[in-house]
Amino acid sequence: MTRPSSDQIWQWLDTVPDPEIPVISLVDLGVIRGVEWNGDVLTVAVTPTYSGCPATTIINLDIETALRDKGIEKLELKRQLSPAWTTDWLSDKGRAKLEDYGIAPPQPAGGPDRCPNCHSGNVTKVSQFGSTPCKAHWRCQDCLEPFDYFKCI
């Protein structure tokens, strides 16, 4: 096969869903840090979100499966710790999808600006820890719905 371009690889990776929040892709999440051909070996640099996130191994497996399905035979996944992952790397597309899904996207202020369900700004923190390491647990004081907030890190 002819060697697919890096742009093509990025597009393929943009169709691989995050295992915990399947509405956003791994590219939206900002964990893919580089795609590079070294001869006939494709190297993909991946950074973990949280050190202990159990999704990390699944993410690597999903990348491998997706690229092998596209015919990539020689693949190397490289763990890249620095620079450390930050929620600033979430794509705008990803942020919009998170809110549609009911998860408030991260805000520089350190808390959600509005309820992802009714869009009221009257929200309160229940706990700094939510259903996964990357999320905090908040509640809307108007519609009374609890919701996840993607923590800023």
Interacting residues toward other proteins by CB under 8 A: 48, 50-54, 56, 81-85, 126-133, 137, 151, 153
Q: And the tokens for 53?
A: 């996130």
SS3 string, 106-143, reads: CCCCCCCCCCCCCCCCCEEEEECCCCCCCEEEEEECCC
Closest distance to other proteins from the beta carbon of 38 (Å): 21
Closest distance to other proteins from the beta carbon of 143 (Å): 20
For other proteins, which is the closer residue by CB, 5 or 131? 131
C-alpha to C-alpha distances, 56 to 35, 103, 138, 148, 150, nearest whole angstrom: 18, 20, 25, 20, 17
Query: Which amino acid, 23?
Result: V
Closest distance to other proteins from the beta carbon of 128 (Å): 6
List helix spans (H) across the chain.
6-13, 26-29, 55-69, 92-101
For other proteins, which is the closer residue by CB, 114 or 137? 137
**Longest Cα separation, the chain:** 58
For other proteins, which is the closer residue by CB, 18 or 148? 148
For other proteins, which is the closer residue by CB, 78 or 93? 78
Closest distance to other proteins from the beta carbon of 122 (Å): 20
